[in-house]
Amino acid sequence: MQAATNVSPEEIARFGKLAARWWDPDGESRPLHDLNPVRASYVADRVNLRDARVADVGCGGGLLSEALAKAGAHVTGIDLGEKVIEIARLHMHESRLENPSLDIDYRVQSSAELAAAEPESFDAVCCMELIEHVPDPAALVGDLVRMVKPGGLVVMSTLNRTPAAFGAAILGAEYIMRMLPRGTHHYAQFLKPSELGRLMRHAGLEVDDVSGLGYNPLNRKAWLSRVTAVNYLISARKPA
Protein backbone atom coordinates (compact mmCIF):
# COMPACT_ATOMS: atom_id res chain seq x y z
CA MET A 1 0.00 0.00 0.00
CA GLN A 2 1.36 3.42 -0.95
CA ALA A 3 1.42 6.06 1.78
CA ALA A 4 -1.62 8.28 1.31
CA THR A 5 -0.75 11.93 0.72
CA ASN A 6 -4.05 13.81 0.73
CA VAL A 7 -4.65 13.40 4.45
CA SER A 8 -4.05 15.23 7.75
CA PRO A 9 -2.96 12.70 10.38
CA GLU A 10 -4.47 14.92 13.12
CA GLU A 11 -7.86 14.54 11.44
CA ILE A 12 -7.60 10.76 11.40
CA ALA A 13 -6.55 10.73 15.06
CA ARG A 14 -9.43 13.02 16.01
CA PHE A 15 -12.03 10.74 14.42
CA GLY A 16 -10.27 7.67 15.81
CA LYS A 17 -11.02 8.94 19.30
CA LEU A 18 -14.73 8.99 18.44
CA ALA A 19 -14.74 5.51 16.91
CA ALA A 20 -15.92 3.49 19.91
CA ARG A 21 -19.02 5.67 20.33
CA TRP A 22 -19.74 6.08 16.60
CA TRP A 23 -22.97 4.07 16.68
CA ASP A 24 -24.27 5.68 19.86
CA PRO A 25 -27.09 7.92 18.57
CA ASP A 26 -26.54 10.20 21.57
CA GLY A 27 -22.74 10.35 21.24
CA GLU A 28 -20.56 12.71 19.23
CA SER A 29 -21.83 11.32 15.92
CA ARG A 30 -25.35 12.34 16.86
CA PRO A 31 -25.71 14.89 14.01
CA LEU A 32 -24.60 12.23 11.52
CA HIS A 33 -27.20 9.81 12.92
CA ASP A 34 -29.89 12.45 12.63
CA LEU A 35 -28.91 13.47 9.06
CA ASN A 36 -28.39 9.93 7.81
CA PRO A 37 -31.94 8.96 6.73
CA VAL A 38 -32.31 12.18 4.72
CA ARG A 39 -29.02 11.83 2.88
CA ALA A 40 -29.57 8.09 2.28
CA SER A 41 -32.93 8.80 0.65
CA TYR A 42 -31.35 11.65 -1.36
CA VAL A 43 -29.00 9.04 -2.86
CA ALA A 44 -31.77 6.44 -3.26
CA ASP A 45 -33.90 8.99 -5.16
CA ARG A 46 -31.12 9.36 -7.75
CA VAL A 47 -29.87 5.83 -8.31
CA ASN A 48 -31.49 2.43 -8.13
CA LEU A 49 -29.58 0.98 -5.20
CA ARG A 50 -30.75 -2.60 -5.68
CA ASP A 51 -27.58 -4.48 -6.73
CA ALA A 52 -25.77 -1.22 -7.51
CA ARG A 53 -22.05 -1.00 -6.71
CA VAL A 54 -21.57 1.98 -4.43
CA ALA A 55 -18.41 3.49 -2.93
CA ASP A 56 -18.66 5.36 0.37
CA VAL A 57 -15.48 7.44 0.61
CA GLY A 58 -14.51 8.53 4.13
CA CYS A 59 -17.17 6.17 5.47
CA GLY A 60 -16.21 6.52 9.14
CA GLY A 61 -18.06 4.02 11.32
CA GLY A 62 -20.37 3.16 8.43
CA LEU A 63 -23.68 4.95 9.06
CA LEU A 64 -24.32 5.68 5.39
CA SER A 65 -22.68 2.48 4.13
CA GLU A 66 -25.11 0.38 6.17
CA ALA A 67 -28.14 2.42 5.08
CA LEU A 68 -27.18 1.98 1.42
CA ALA A 69 -26.48 -1.73 1.88
CA LYS A 70 -29.86 -2.19 3.55
CA ALA A 71 -31.40 -0.74 0.39
CA GLY A 72 -29.70 -3.50 -1.61
CA ALA A 73 -26.42 -1.90 -2.70
CA HIS A 74 -23.05 -3.68 -2.72
CA VAL A 75 -21.00 -1.15 -0.80
CA THR A 76 -17.26 -0.55 -0.66
CA GLY A 77 -16.58 1.66 2.37
CA ILE A 78 -13.13 3.24 2.61
CA ASP A 79 -11.53 5.44 5.24
CA LEU A 80 -7.94 6.09 6.33
CA GLY A 81 -8.88 5.68 9.99
CA GLU A 82 -8.11 2.14 11.14
CA LYS A 83 -10.19 2.53 14.30
CA VAL A 84 -13.31 3.75 12.52
CA ILE A 85 -13.03 0.92 9.98
CA GLU A 86 -12.72 -1.60 12.81
CA ILE A 87 -15.92 -0.24 14.37
CA ALA A 88 -17.68 -0.23 11.00
CA ARG A 89 -16.82 -3.91 10.52
CA LEU A 90 -17.93 -4.85 14.03
CA HIS A 91 -21.24 -3.09 13.59
CA MET A 92 -21.82 -4.73 10.21
CA HIS A 93 -21.43 -8.15 11.81
CA GLU A 94 -24.00 -7.20 14.42
CA SER A 95 -26.39 -5.87 11.77
CA ARG A 96 -25.99 -9.05 9.73
CA LEU A 97 -27.72 -10.96 12.54
CA GLU A 98 -30.90 -9.22 11.38
CA ASN A 99 -29.95 -8.61 7.77
CA PRO A 100 -27.74 -11.52 6.62
CA SER A 101 -27.50 -10.20 3.07
CA LEU A 102 -25.81 -6.90 4.01
CA ASP A 103 -22.87 -6.62 1.63
CA ILE A 104 -20.20 -4.12 2.67
CA ASP A 105 -16.48 -4.36 2.02
CA TYR A 106 -14.76 -2.02 4.48
CA ARG A 107 -11.16 -1.11 3.72
CA VAL A 108 -8.47 1.12 5.16
CA GLN A 109 -7.70 2.70 1.82
CA SER A 110 -7.28 6.17 0.33
CA SER A 111 -9.55 7.50 -2.39
CA ALA A 112 -6.52 7.65 -4.72
CA GLU A 113 -5.79 3.96 -4.17
CA LEU A 114 -9.39 2.90 -4.72
CA ALA A 115 -9.58 5.00 -7.90
CA ALA A 116 -6.36 3.43 -9.20
CA ALA A 117 -7.37 -0.12 -8.25
CA GLU A 118 -10.97 0.06 -9.48
CA PRO A 119 -11.38 2.81 -12.07
CA GLU A 120 -14.87 3.39 -13.51
CA SER A 121 -16.27 0.64 -11.29
CA PHE A 122 -19.06 2.21 -9.24
CA ASP A 123 -22.63 3.08 -10.18
CA ALA A 124 -22.59 5.69 -7.44
CA VAL A 125 -19.92 7.28 -5.28
CA CYS A 126 -20.83 9.00 -2.01
CA CYS A 127 -18.51 11.25 -0.08
CA MET A 128 -20.22 12.81 2.92
CA GLU A 129 -18.66 15.22 5.41
CA LEU A 130 -15.12 14.43 4.27
CA ILE A 131 -13.97 17.12 1.86
CA GLU A 132 -13.76 19.76 4.62
CA HIS A 133 -11.15 17.57 6.33
CA VAL A 134 -8.71 16.94 3.45
CA PRO A 135 -5.71 19.12 2.48
CA ASP A 136 -6.41 18.98 -1.29
CA PRO A 137 -10.15 19.00 -2.05
CA ALA A 138 -9.62 19.08 -5.85
CA ALA A 139 -7.56 15.88 -5.71
CA LEU A 140 -10.31 14.16 -3.72
CA VAL A 141 -12.94 15.15 -6.29
CA GLY A 142 -10.63 13.85 -9.06
CA ASP A 143 -10.44 10.47 -7.30
CA LEU A 144 -14.25 10.26 -7.03
CA VAL A 145 -14.57 10.98 -10.75
CA ARG A 146 -12.05 8.27 -11.65
CA MET A 147 -13.81 5.56 -9.63
CA VAL A 148 -17.36 6.24 -10.86
CA LYS A 149 -18.65 4.56 -14.04
CA PRO A 150 -19.48 6.75 -17.04
CA GLY A 151 -23.11 7.73 -16.50
CA GLY A 152 -22.69 7.13 -12.76
CA LEU A 153 -23.63 9.37 -9.85
CA VAL A 154 -21.43 11.31 -7.42
CA VAL A 155 -23.07 12.69 -4.27
CA MET A 156 -21.17 14.79 -1.76
CA SER A 157 -22.19 16.65 1.38
CA THR A 158 -20.31 19.23 3.36
CA LEU A 159 -20.54 22.47 5.33
CA ASN A 160 -20.89 25.82 3.62
CA ARG A 161 -18.46 28.64 4.44
CA THR A 162 -20.96 31.13 5.84
CA PRO A 163 -21.47 32.83 9.22
CA ALA A 164 -24.53 30.55 9.65
CA ALA A 165 -22.39 27.43 9.23
CA PHE A 166 -19.76 28.85 11.57
CA GLY A 167 -22.52 29.50 14.10
CA ALA A 168 -24.15 26.08 13.77
CA ALA A 169 -21.24 23.70 13.23
CA ILE A 170 -18.50 25.37 15.27
CA LEU A 171 -20.03 27.71 17.86
CA GLY A 172 -23.23 25.73 18.32
CA ALA A 173 -22.12 22.12 18.07
CA GLU A 174 -18.57 22.39 19.42
CA TYR A 175 -18.81 25.20 21.97
CA ILE A 176 -22.39 25.69 23.13
CA MET A 177 -24.03 22.28 22.91
CA ARG A 178 -20.67 20.47 23.19
CA MET A 179 -21.97 17.75 20.88
CA LEU A 180 -18.69 17.65 18.98
CA PRO A 181 -15.16 17.96 20.34
CA ARG A 182 -13.67 21.42 19.83
CA GLY A 183 -11.44 21.55 16.79
CA THR A 184 -13.55 19.07 14.79
CA HIS A 185 -14.09 21.69 12.08
CA HIS A 186 -11.89 24.36 10.50
CA TYR A 187 -13.92 27.19 9.05
CA ALA A 188 -11.37 28.13 6.39
CA GLN A 189 -11.65 24.65 4.87
CA PHE A 190 -15.41 24.84 4.36
CA LEU A 191 -16.45 25.15 0.71
CA LYS A 192 -19.30 27.15 -0.75
CA PRO A 193 -21.64 25.25 -3.09
CA SER A 194 -20.36 27.40 -5.97
CA GLU A 195 -16.76 26.43 -5.16
CA LEU A 196 -17.49 22.72 -4.77
CA GLY A 197 -19.65 22.82 -7.91
CA ARG A 198 -16.74 24.36 -9.81
CA LEU A 199 -14.32 21.69 -8.55
CA MET A 200 -16.76 19.00 -9.68
CA ARG A 201 -17.29 20.55 -13.10
CA HIS A 202 -13.55 21.02 -13.61
CA ALA A 203 -13.12 17.34 -12.83
CA GLY A 204 -15.56 16.48 -15.62
CA LEU A 205 -18.86 16.06 -13.76
CA GLU A 206 -22.22 17.57 -14.60
CA VAL A 207 -23.76 18.99 -11.43
CA ASP A 208 -27.53 18.41 -11.42
CA ASP A 209 -28.66 19.40 -7.94
CA VAL A 210 -27.65 21.31 -4.83
CA SER A 211 -29.96 20.93 -1.82
CA GLY A 212 -29.71 22.28 1.67
CA LEU A 213 -29.70 19.86 4.56
CA GLY A 214 -31.76 21.41 7.33
CA TYR A 215 -31.19 20.26 10.90
CA ASN A 216 -32.66 21.17 14.25
CA PRO A 217 -30.38 19.74 16.96
CA LEU A 218 -33.00 20.37 19.63
CA ASN A 219 -35.71 18.09 18.24
CA ARG A 220 -33.17 16.19 16.08
CA LYS A 221 -35.21 16.58 12.92
CA ALA A 222 -33.46 16.79 9.55
CA TRP A 223 -34.92 17.69 6.14
CA LEU A 224 -34.01 18.69 2.61
CA SER A 225 -34.32 22.41 2.08
CA ARG A 226 -33.59 25.23 -0.34
CA VAL A 227 -31.41 26.82 2.32
CA THR A 228 -27.82 25.71 1.72
CA ALA A 229 -26.29 28.11 4.24
CA VAL A 230 -25.17 25.46 6.74
CA ASN A 231 -24.96 21.93 5.37
CA TYR A 232 -25.71 20.89 1.80
CA LEU A 233 -25.80 17.95 -0.58
CA ILE A 234 -24.59 18.16 -4.16
CA SER A 235 -25.30 15.62 -6.84
CA ALA A 236 -23.52 15.20 -10.18
CA ARG A 237 -23.12 12.71 -13.03
CA LYS A 238 -20.13 11.61 -15.03
CA PRO A 239 -21.10 11.93 -18.69
CA ALA A 240 -21.85 8.51 -20.22
- The answer to whether residue 58 forms part of the interface with ligand SAH (CB under 6 A) is yes
Do the annotations mark residue 152 as ligand-binding? no
CB under 8 Å to 112, separation ≥6 — which residues? Answer: 2, 4, 5, 6, 139, 143
How far is it, in rounded angstroms, from Cα 37 to Cα 64? 8
Cα end-to-end distance, the chain, whole Å: 31
Do the annotations mark residue 128 as ligand-binding? yes
State the nearest-atom distance from the C-beta of 231 to ligand SAH, in Å. 11
Query: Which of 144, 114, 127 is closest to 59 using CA atoms?
Result: 127
- 69-88 residues near ligand SAH, rule: CB under 6 A: 79-81, 84
Contact status, residue 132 vs residue 190, Cβ threshold 8 Å: yes
Q: Which is nearer to ligand SAH, 151 or 178 (CB)?
A: 178
One residue of 23, 28, 32, 152 binding ligand SAH per CB under 6 A: 32
Determine the 3-state secondary structure of 62 from DSSP: coil
Q: Which is nearer to ligand SAH, 68 or 128 (CB)?
A: 128
Q: Which is nearer to ligand SAH, 111 or 228 (CB)?
A: 111
* Binding-residue pattern over the window 96 to 135 for ligand SAH, x denoting contact by CB under 6 A: --------------x-----------------xxx--xx-
Among 3-11, 100-108, 147-155, 161-169, the segment contacting ligand SAH (CB under 6 A): 3-11
- CB-based burial of residue 58 (10 Å sphere; 0-12 exposed, 13-18 middle, 19+ buried)? buried
One residue of 54, 55, 60, 173 binding ligand SAH per CB under 6 A: 60
Tally of CA atoms within 13 A in the half-sphere of 29 that contains its CB: 23
One residue of 47, 63, 87, 165 binding ligand SAH per CB under 6 A: 63
- The site for ligand SAH, by CB under 6 A, has a size of 21
Q: Which is nearer to ligand SAH, 47 or 233 (CB)?
A: 233
- The answer to whether residue 137 forms part of the interface with ligand SAH (CB under 6 A) is no
Phi-psi region of 3 (alpha: psi -120 to 50; beta: other; left: phi over 0): beta
Consecutive H or E run containing 13? helix 9-18
Neighbours of 110 (CB within 10 A): 24
> Which residues of this protein are in contact with ligand SAH, per CB under 6 A?
6-7, 11-12, 15, 32, 58-60, 63-64, 79-81, 84, 110, 128-130, 133-134
Going by the annotation, the residues of the binding site are 39, 58, 79, 128
